[in-house]
Amino acid sequence: MPEPTRRPNIVFVLTDDHAAHSIGAYGSVVNRTPYIDEIAERGVRLDNCFVTNSLCSPSRASILTGTYSHINGVTTLWTPIDASQPTFISQLRAAGYRTGIVGKWHMGEEAASNPQNFDYWDVLINQGEYFDPRFLSADGVRRESGYATDIITDLAMQWVDGLEGDDPWCLLVWHKAPHRPWEPDEKHADLYSDPIPVPGTFWDDYSTRSASARRALMRIADYINSEDLKVEPPEGLSYEELALWKYQRYMEDYLRCVASVDDNVGRLTGWLRERGELDDTLMVYSSDQGFFLGDHGWFDKRFMYEESLRMPLVMSYPRAIPAGTVHDGIVTNVDFARTLLGAAGVDAHDRMQGRSFWGDLVGDPTAPAAEGMYYRYWENDDWFHKAPAHYGYRDDRYKLIFYYNSGYGLPGSGFFEYPTEWELFDLETDPHELRNVYDDPGYAEIREQLKVKLYDAQAAVGDKPWTGEQPATDERFSVLARFTGSSGMNPVVPASGK
C-alpha cells in the first residue's frame, strides 16, 4: 500500500445510543445500514471496542480528552466539562489542522463548557430537538428548519466547502440520533413496519443476577412511556402481549432514526468522492456507547453488560488501512484521542491516557495489545433509571463487575445507597451473560485472579476502589434537593436525564 503523501483529513461521525447489533457490518438481524457498512468494507471493523462509562456526556468527554471520567471531571450527565483541557482537537489545531464540530455536544450549558479550539462550532442546545432544532454557535442561539440529522450534515459540509488553502481539516459530525425519544423523519416513517425479531433474552428473569441489576427501571414492558410510543396501544392485550407490542413500537422508531443516520453517512461519502478527497480522508463512524434493544428486556445503557458496553467503530483511510480488515483487539473510547492523533502524525498530550491502536490498523503496532479494559459507571441510582454505580474489568473471556451502589454525592446520583454486590461472567460459555458465576466454586481461582487484574487496571488509570466511606448526609441531601426541591417532592428533571 502506498505511503500517504499528505496528512489525512478527518471526518468523525458520532451518533448517540447506536447499538453495534443494529449495524449490518456487525451482523444485525433487525435492519440494514449499507453506507455505514461501506466504511467497514473500505477499511476496518473493530469488533471489541468498549466504552469506559456508558453514558452520553462522560463518553464524549473521554473521546475528546483521551482520559477517564475521574480525570476529565465528567462523571455523570450533570458534571459539565472544563472545555479548556487538552483534547485531540486542541492538538490537531496546534499542528495546523482546521477544526470544526456540528451537532450534539451535551457536556454542559455554561460558557466554560462550550466548545474550545474549534475554528467552527455549531452545536445543539443540551440534548437537542429532532425537528427544527436550536443551535448554539459563537454568534448565539438560532433555530434551523428541518430534521436535525439532515441539518447537521448540511452544516458540516458547508463549513468544509468554505475553507480555503490546502491545510488538512478535522470535522466532527456528532448526531443526536438515535437517542430517545426516537422521532423519525417523514422519509423513513414507514420503514420496519413488519415484525422485528425479538431478542432471545427479552424475557430474562435475572435469576442469578444481583439485586443491583433487578432495581433498574429499564424494562420495556414497564418503563417505555407514552411519549416514546407516540400512539395508544391496542386494548385488551395481556401483559406479555403489550410488552411485545411496545418492543415493536420502540424498535420501529429507533431503526427509522438509524436509517436517516445511515443515509447521511452516505451523503458524506458521496460528497468526499465528488471533492476527490475520499482516499485522503480518515472516515470514522462510532456511537458514544451501546444500547439495549430489548436485550434482557431492556432499553437504555449504563450497565457493563455487553450490549451497553460495546461501541460500533468502523474506519476507512484507503491510503493506509487495507480494505476489509477486521480488528479483534480490545480498544476503548479513551483510546480514540491518541489514535486519531497517531493517524495525523501529531503528538498526543502527556495527559492523555489509553493506547493508540493506529499502528495495529496499518500493520505497525507501536504498543503491546491491551489484555483487558476498565469500566466505571458513576451516576448511582439516577432518578429515571435507578442504575447502580459499579466498576469492573473485562478481558477476552471474563467479565468481573463490582456494584458499590453509592453516588459519592455526585450530581445526578440519587439519595439512596445499597449493599455492595459482585457478578462474574464467562463470556465463552455464556455470551449473553445470563449466569452469574461469582459464587460458583469452579470459578473461585479465576475470580480472585480477576480481582487482582481489576485493581491493577484501576490503579493504572489513576482511579481508586470504593472504600465504603459515605458522603456527609447534608451533602447527599443537597444533591437530592437539586432534583426534587427542598421538600423532597415534585421532581424536576430536564430532558437530558432521559
Q: Look at residues 381, 404, 376, 389 and name the one whose alpha carbon lies nearest to residue 479.
A: 381
Evaluate if residue 483 carries a pLDDT over 70.
Answer: no
Which residue would you say has higher pLDDT here, 136 or 368? 136
* Predicted local distance difference test score (pLDDT) of residue 488: 30
Q: What's the pLDDT score for residue 12?
A: 99
3-state secondary structure labels for all residues of 398-457: EEEEEECCCCCCCCCCCCCCCCCEEEEEECCCCCCCCCCCCCCHHHHHHHHHHHHHHHHH
Strands (E), 98-257: 98-103, 120-124, 134-137, 140-143, 169-174
Specify the length of the chain in residues.
Answer: 498
pLDDT digits (tens, 9 = 90+) for 394-413: 999 999 999 999 999 999 99
Q: What percent of the chain has pLDDT over 70?
A: 93
pLDDT value at position 490?
Answer: 28
Mean pLDDT of 66-74: 98
CA 307 to chain centre: 11
Dump pLDDT digits (tens) for 209-251. Answer: 999 999 999 999 999 999 999 999 999 999 999 999 999 999 9
- Residue 312 or 475, more confident: 312
pLDDT band at 498 (very low <50, low <70, confident <90, very high): very low
Residue 306 has a pLDDT of: 98
Supply the pLDDT for residue 10: 98
Exposed, middle or buried, 84 (CB in 10 Å: 0-12/13-18/19+)? exposed
pLDDT at 6: 85
For 369-399, how does the pLDDT look when each residue is reduced to its tens digit (9 = 90+)? Answer: 999 999 999 999 999 999 999 999 999 999 9
The rounded distance, in Å, linking the Cα atoms of 375 and 425 is: 15
Half-sphere exposure of residue 15: CA atoms within 13 angstroms, side-chain side: 31
Q: Is the pLDDT of residue 3 over 60?
A: no
The pLDDT of residue 468: 87
Q: Which residue has the higher pLDDT, 495 or 386?
A: 386
Q: How high is the pLDDT of residue 481?
A: 38
With cut-offs at 50, 70 and 90, classify the pLDDT of residue 479.
very low
Rounded distance, CA 249 to CA 404, Å?
Answer: 35
pLDDT at res. 4: 55
Q: Can you read off the three cell numbers belonging to residue 322?
A: 487495507
List, as one string, the DSSP characters of 132-150: S-EEEETTEEEE--SBHHH
User: Which tens digits make up the pLDDT trace of 78-97?
Assistant: 999 999 999 999 999 999 99
pLDDT exceeds 80 at position 476: no
| Percent of the residues in the chain that have a pLDDT greater than 90, as a whole number | 91
pLDDT value for 5: 65
Tell me: pLDDT of 473 over 70: no
Place of cell 492538538: 91
What is the tens place of the pLDDT at every residue in 288-338? 999 999 999 999 999 999 999 999 999 999 999 999 999 999 999 999 999
pLDDT attached to residue 366: 82
Instruction: Dump pLDDT digits (tens) for 109-159.
Output: 999 999 999 999 999 999 999 999 999 999 999 999 999 999 999 999 999
